[in-house]
Each structure stands twice: as structure tokens, then as C-alpha cells.
A and B are shown apart, each in its own frame.
Chain A
Amino acid sequence: METPAPDRTQEVYDVLKYIIDPEIGVNIVDLGLVYDVTITDQEIHVEMTLTTPGCPMSNTITMATEQILLRKFPHRQVTVELVWTPAWTPERISAEGLEQL
């Protein structure tokens, strides 16, 4: 297992900023939905949540996350894990996200 380069992780976050929550109109990173990113030479693992359990967007957002990362990093396997703990709260929105609201 190689140690990921820190700028690679940042690159993943930058790419995920292109995914906009369709209802709120703010990207999923600034909304605080992305909890953790792990990247190696073989794979990318994203741990994320949604604003509410039962959200009908669960398929759409996880699929979009997977697709956009595959386009940017075509030689890595991408897995997106949706979790409910810790529960998302509006306090997780970044300063940039709050400005966009």
C-alpha cells in the first residue's frame, strides 16, 4: 500500500466540487457531505453522506461521484461509500458554501 500524495487527495476534493446538490445548488464538498477520501495508485475510496436519510438523491449523487472520479482518474478503481453516522448537520457547510446559499 503506497502512501498517497497529499496533493492527489486535494485533487479528488477539487473534482468533487463539480457535483452540485440539485436542490440546494451548492457543491457536495462545500456542503460538507464528503467525510473522507482515501487514494492509492490502484483505488480511490470516498466516504460521504447526504443531507437527510431517505434522500431520493442517494443513487444520483453516489453515481455522479463515481463517474466524475472515473473520468478524472481512469486507471483507478473508485468506490463510494454512503454513511449516515455521523449525521450531517448544516454546521458542516463551509464558509464558501454559506456564501453560495
Chain B
Amino acid sequence: MSALATSVGQLHLTNPIMPASGTFTEDLADVFDLGILGAHVLKTFTAEARTGNPTPRVCDLTGGMMNAIGIPSKGLEHFLTHTLPFWARYDVPLIVSISAHSYDAFARLAAAVSVPGVAAIEANISCPNIEADGRAFAVRADTTGHVVAQLREATDLPLWVKLSPNTGEPVEVAQAAEAAGADALVVANTLLGMAIDIETRQPRLGNVMGGISGPAIKPVALRMTYQAASATRIPVIGCGGITTVADVVEFLIAGATAVQVGTATFQSPTTMQRLLTGLEDWLRAQGIASVNDLRGTVALPHAPAPVPAMLT
């Protein structure tokens, strides 16, 4: 048994390193063999075709970046006929990330992508819910529970739910997702932000506001991973600012079962390849037999305290 092998629920992974949605397409195969990854998490897509937001869609920040790409999508038909066949060449679990603006549309899309070749569905519930005045599903426990329950009814595939850091009730949201039938939680997504060019006084993103990602948000994602892992019984996949082997280990110690790497791949496309080699070397050097031995081993200063609903 490889020291890196793990599983997310019933899904076996050869290692805990996988891409974060939105930072991974077949284009990365130009740089290294994508067959080495623990899972393939595709870019979020919607049932209908979308062009995305106006440019500029990204801007540089200290310790990361901000984006407002706007989920460009070629739609369901293109996904089934073009995207799926490409990924079938890999013997790696394929995780399909989906998004929709209403409960019903989300459920219909989940049913439509529950096809052979798809190992799990990742529900990106950070998009605005038109039935809740545009608030993202993931900012409230009730809307999270409602959408996950509908998704659960629509598919028999493992259901991963990607949470948002833009909530004041992370524990309640995580528990609502679990109670509604989520098989795993992906924690978390980008943090809503804004940047202004002081010369032109214009926002630096065409969409005015965008999502912050990269090393700058790692403590937020790590905190939420710890909270979600402490407050639920389902696997948590850590996501947010992971760049180094130490970052991966930190998330595992906080309670993550696996991790997703996103923005670091934009800076260096070989990041996940580097992390895989480095993690194996680190475990060996530490005399740790399995990556699973790290999970949830954070040494708290006192007896584990109740996890606060919100840290401010």
C-alpha cells in the first residue's frame, strides 16, 4: 500500500493531491502526465452555454490573485460529447463540478451528468441563487441544506459539496450539507474581494468584485477545514492557497482527507507534480507510514474546545 493512498468515502485515490475546479483543463497535459494525480476535478460548467465576465478577469495581489472569470461554459451537450471522452483516457477518478442558479436546475444538471465515467459530482454552491435574491446558496445553512437535498435526490453518485468562505455560519453550513446527504465537503472557495487602480480609480476587475485565491487566503481555508472536519463526520477536502508540501501537511493535520491545489498551478503548472514527490519524501523522512496517519492530529493547547460558529 502506497504511503500516499487515501479514500474519500468509497472513492479510492492513489494520493491526496488533486486540482481545484477552475484551475484544471486538458491544457495542463501539455506540461506533465495528468495520470499521476489523485483525482481530476474539472472546471465548473453550467447546463447552458455562457461567455463569462468582461475583461480584465484577473489581477495580481500580494500573496495571490483575484479573479472574476464568470464560469464560461460550453454547456451540457458539449460536456457530454467532447469533455468526457477526453478524460476517459485516464485511470483517475473524474470529479465533475457543476453550477446552476436555482434548486431545480442544479438537480437536473446533477442527474444529467450522472453517467458512466464520472466518479463523483462536486456541487459548486457559491454561485448566486436566483430564488434567494442572488445570494449564494453556500452563505446560509438553510439554502445549502435545500440545494444539497435536491442534488442528493437527483444522483446516486458520490456528492461533494464545495463550501464558500463568504459565510458567517461555516459550521452550520457544513452540518447542513452533511445532514442533507453530502458525501464530502470541499473547503473552501475564493474569498470575495475588490481592488482599485489608484491612477484610473477604476476597479481592477471588469466585474468590479472578484474572488481572492492563493497563499493569502490559506489561513481562512485552513480554519474552515478544521471547523468542518471537527463538526461533521464526512470527509473534508482542503482547498485554499496550498502551494507547498508543508501546506498539504497542515491541511491534513487540520482534518482534511485530501487537498485541492488551484492558484499555485497558475503560478507554476508543475506544482501538483512537485507536491506529490515532496509529500512522499516528507512522509518517509518523518517515518510516517501513511498519509492517513496525519488526518485530524492537530495538537490543541487544551482539551478540544467547542468549535465557534464564527471567529471574528
Q: Are these two chains actual partners, yes or no?
A: no
A residues with CB within 8 A of B:
none
